[in-house]
Structure 1
């Protein structure tokens, strides 16, 4: 079991290497190729729109082929889409780049299920730690992603074409590792669909809050992270500084994975998610204080840790909302909520940072933070009321 979890954690790291490299370069390549400046983050948006569109197909392939084969299909798509991105950069074709990132979204939706697969590889009393450990594998992406973008940026006369080719090699490496992971056998096929309908699952308060907090927490993180490379370039900071900020942001996202599971097991998911929300508020406060390198660095690091607490907590929270035979439709719905929110935040980040500026972008991010806080308080009050009624 430990071998499987560590291999899956490395695959998570390679997935995040792809994501962080995309974040680091897609906005900048988009800014260079886009017909209008406000369209710069459309390639970033394409990645998450593709993820949203692919959630239903991913759920069906997971159900039909099982975890390993479905994950390998996702990695094959990652390989092909990275090569297509490289071709778009060489041809200086903005719309081909957007199309390629939409195709890559299938890999995004597929690999986003690694965290749920981790829970299935662990004993019932160790699911929180398993999810947290695999999430910690993203540390590999924290270091490899920005540095990969920086090192391969000038491999060819066309900026960043080498980075896309390097991502194709990363996908090949992940395909090799995935082959050695022993996933749990899929449940036996049934002539009729087992379990409750998605509508019934989605009416549960715990599912609602898991979906809202996971989607909005990810949305806030993406809103600020996607805009950061563009904001820093507008502020005349060099690409090396952009890579450094993104590296520490992703370290913040995944380094807590070594202990977030312990915190959730000891204090519960909701208190840990509340701390994550407070860190988001701290990030916004620091970002509004100025636009020097250290302010970008501290704000994005706090944003990363806050995201980890919110996202790991929401994932753990969701595990109690469905059974094994309901997992594909429930997990697909959760991922759709996340990707739909990411699509909106990716587009909004480019529009806001290029037309309204970094300051207004941060003020706007307060809206989803407040909504997430309201959802957490609502569920906490319901749980206290239920516990009080049970003791009467």
Structure 2
């Protein structure tokens, strides 16, 4: 049966079509990011409501990020031993557990339970972040960028559904504040299990489509792939979170700032519908460099102007730049790793991304206090220049080889 499924995938790839299973993973990713958006919307507020001291309000969300960083590599190891399907089912169980514990925490006013709930949510995210890599298993290299891009595009659903769930379920008569927001994780987990049950993975890609790169060529791709995804996440979080803080200090209304952030989130995921085609057209290196350029433009705008319009424009540039860097880096990694080293390399990649994302979430308030908005943008501009130069140096040696995996 696996041989038949593999042959079907290869046939679809030869016609330029993605397998139907890829769309199931895109839906799973939409659920993953919906839970993440709900979490970022309510975590600090629920924490402040239940914490013994205001200073502890962000501890649950911090624990969630720490759990993602700690459990990402173990999740990859579990996949290597037991397969992606069992791993994703296990991850969905942690999402359900987060919902049950979070509901109980808000009902019984238990702060430690709330911390545990966000820890469970972080473990779920550590597993769910591998959906984009699962989509390329068994696919020919020309189709891998499109598969990664499509799965990441699931975040566009989250940009709309996450805020709607948070607002609609925050205060419902007869239930504690935020309790139904956490209860929604149970439903999302059950839907995820149903989708994964129907998903048919191919854990062993056919030999014909495995990478045949030499170690030197592979290294020249893996390093810039990891740097692109991780640095894009770091820069995006630094500027997005600090922009929220700055808009608050500028007395921008909550509705206006919320719309600005929602526009940024849409800009992060909407390009995914075409990022795969762009990768096929211009190649990995040029896509990554374009991402750095867009991130640099967002930072430059933050240096030149401090106003609401400049912040909104910068956030949109930031979102598109993140998409090119994150999707481009993931696609480059997917086209480079072999079946033998994919779980280990993907685990290292996502662990580094999680660490950078965590730093990007915790540092903005500190940087705003110590160096201010303009200097933070200057720092991000320097990071873009360094990462872009690193990508250029690593991938200039064999540009033709780097483009071999993609049709012109």
Q: TM-score, normalised by structure 2?
A: 0.81
Residue in 2 that maps onto 1:333:
348
> Which shifted more, 374-383 or 105-114?
374-383
Residue in 1 that maps onto 2:226:
211
- Shift, 1:30, TM fit: 4.5
Residue in 2 that maps onto 1:290:
306
Residue in 1 that maps onto 2:274:
259
> Which shifted more, 260-269 or 101-110?
101-110
Residue in 2 that maps onto 1:373:
388
Specify whether residues 87 and 187 from structure 1 end up closer, same or farther in structure 2 by C-alpha distance, changes over 3 A only. Answer: same
The count of residues paired between Structure 1 and Structure 2 equals 376
> Which shifted more, 100-109 or 222-231?
222-231
- Shift, 1:131, TM fit: 1.3
> Which shifted more, 203-212 or 254-263?
203-212
List alignment gaps of at least 5 residues for structure 1.
189-194, 388-392
Determine the C-alpha separation between the residues in 2 that align with 1:285 and 1:107.
36
Counterpart pick for 1:107 among 124, 144, 157: 124
2:182 paired with 1:167: no
> Which shifted more, 355-364 or 57-66?
355-364
- Shift, 1:354, TM fit: 6.5
Counterpart pick for 1:50 among 58, 67, 70: 67
Determine the C-alpha separation between the residues in 2 that align with 1:91 and 1:224.
36
Paired residues for 1:30-109 under 5 Å:
30=47, 41-90=58-107, 96-109=113-126
Secondary structure of residue in 1 paired with 2:172: coil
Determine the C-alpha separation between the residues in 2 that align with 1:258 and 1:104.
27
Determine the C-alpha separation between the residues in 1 that align with 2:167 and 2:217.
43
CA RMSD of superposed structures (Å) = 3.1
Counterpart pick for 1:122 among 130, 133, 139: 139
Determine the C-alpha separation between the residues in 1 that align with 2:154 and 2:140.
20
Specify whether residues 71 and 341 from structure 1 end up closer, same or farther in structure 2 by C-alpha distance, changes over 3 A only. Answer: same
CA contact (8 A) 1:81 1:100 kept: yes
CA contact (8 A) 1:23 1:226 kept: no
- Shift, 1:357, TM fit: 5.3
Residue in 2 that maps onto 1:191:
none
CA contact (8 A) 1:45 1:344 kept: no
Determine the C-alpha separation between the residues in 2 that align with 1:226 and 1:134.
25
Counterpart pick for 2:150 among 130, 133, 141: 133
Residue in 2 that maps onto 1:192:
none
- Shift, 1:247, TM fit: 2.4
Determine the C-alpha separation between the residues in 2 that align with 1:26 and 1:12.
20
Residue in 1 that maps onto 2:263:
248
Specify whether residues 98 and 203 from structure 1 end up closer, same or farther in structure 2 by C-alpha distance, changes over 3 A only. Answer: farther
Counterpart pick for 1:280 among 295, 307, 323: 295
Determine the C-alpha separation between the residues in 2 that align with 1:159 and 1:224.
30
> Which shifted more, 371-380 or 174-183?
371-380
Residue in 2 that maps onto 1:4:
21
2:237 paired with 1:222: yes
Secondary structure of residue in 2 paired with 1:155: coil
Secondary structure of residue in 1 paired with 2:341: helix
Counterpart pick for 1:351 among 350, 366, 371: 366
> Which shifted more, 269-278 or 374-383?
374-383
Residue in 2 that maps onto 1:176:
194
Secondary structure of residue in 1 paired with 2:74: helix
Specify whether residues 355 and 124 from structure 1 end up closer, same or farther in structure 2 by C-alpha distance, changes over 3 A only. Answer: closer
Determine the C-alpha separation between the residues in 2 that align with 1:201 and 1:207.
10
CA contact (8 A) 1:30 1:94 kept: yes
CA contact (8 A) 1:27 1:229 kept: no
Determine the C-alpha separation between the residues in 1 that align with 2:133 and 2:123.
17
Query: Residue deviations 1:128-155, cap 9 Å, x none?
Result: 1111111112211111112222222223
List alignment gaps of at least 5 residues for structure 2.
1-8, 10-18, 403-408
CA contact (8 A) 1:68 1:178 kept: yes
Determine the C-alpha separation between the residues in 2 that align with 1:30 and 1:357.
27
- Shift, 1:35, TM fit: 7.1
